[in-house]
A and B are shown apart, each in its own frame.
Chain A
Amino acid sequence: GDSVTQMEGPVTLSEEAFLTINCTYTATGYPSLFWYVQYPGEGLQLLLKATKADDKGSNKGFEATYRKETTSFHLEKGSVQVSDSAVYFCALSGSNSGYSTLTFGKGTMLLVSP
């Protein structure tokens, strides 16, 4: 079945550092890929998505490129802020069912210090 693997956290960075959170996936067909962010005590917010190979999703300075050859969708940001501290979830939406159910990774906590 489908699966998503993320790097384990927490990832601890200083403000303005470069961020990479790795995500790889296993899926049949051609899934869509997503990054969601969860701030403490809140629900999930869609951060960005990509629906086909080589697509780049971007939002709020975050980027991720759909790499079919390496089955990856790594999240990057050039300069993190304290307000980026949250848990980041990589997810995929399978293409086989005709509707959208998401398979999530376990999440990576990001802690940014001033």
Chain B
Amino acid sequence: NAGVMQNPRHLVRRRGQEARLRCSPMKGHSHVYWYRQLPEEGLKFMVYLQKENIIDESGMPKERFSAEFPKEGPSILRIQQVVRGDSAAYFCASSPPNGGNTIYFGEGSWLTVV
């Protein structure tokens, strides 16, 4: 997973606040994926983005969650008005422009909502 950079690693928010998680893909990678890991669960796919485009957001909750991957800068996963159930580890992954089926994960961002 070397090269996929996520920050912050740990984030504490009060209920109702906003959380912003950032992900810089590996050098040369233009595809970004976000996954969520709830306690005692496996990872669940949330969204797949390419530069300036959301390709598949079938795993994103309908409300409060959004993601972007601008032309310049990192991908952002934004959670508005956080609730306790949003407490989880959020993992970003990236893959190169030619696709392929191996994606590389970052070290994750642990969100705690108090």
Contact = CB atoms under 8 A, between A and B. Distances in A.
A42 B9 CA distance: 10
B69 interface: no
Contacts of B6: 43
A2 to B, nearest CB: 10
Contacts of A99: 31, 48, 55-56, 95, 99
B45 A103 contact: yes
Nearest to A45: B1
Interface stretch (B12-20, B60-68, B73-81, B105-113): B105-113
Interface string B89-111: 00100010001111111111000
A100 B42 contact: no
Contact of A44 (B1, B45, B56): B1
A98 B78 CA distance: 26
A98 B101 CA distance: 9
Interface string B29-44: 0010101000011111
Contacts of B105: 36, 43-46
A98 B106 CA distance: 23
Interface string A96-114: 0111111111110000000
Nearest to A101: B45
Given A99-B31, A99-B55, A104 B102 contact: no
A97 B105 CA distance: 20
Give the size range of A's interface with the partner.
20 to 34
Interface in A66-114: 89, 91, 93, 97-107
A101 B1 contact: no
Contacts of A98: 99
A104 B44 contact: yes
A43 B1 CA distance: 8
A43 B42 contact: no
Contact of A104 (B40, B43, B56, B104): B43
A107 B37 CA distance: 11
A51 interface: yes
Interface of A: 4, 32, 34, 36, 42-46, 49, 51, 89, 91, 93, 97-107
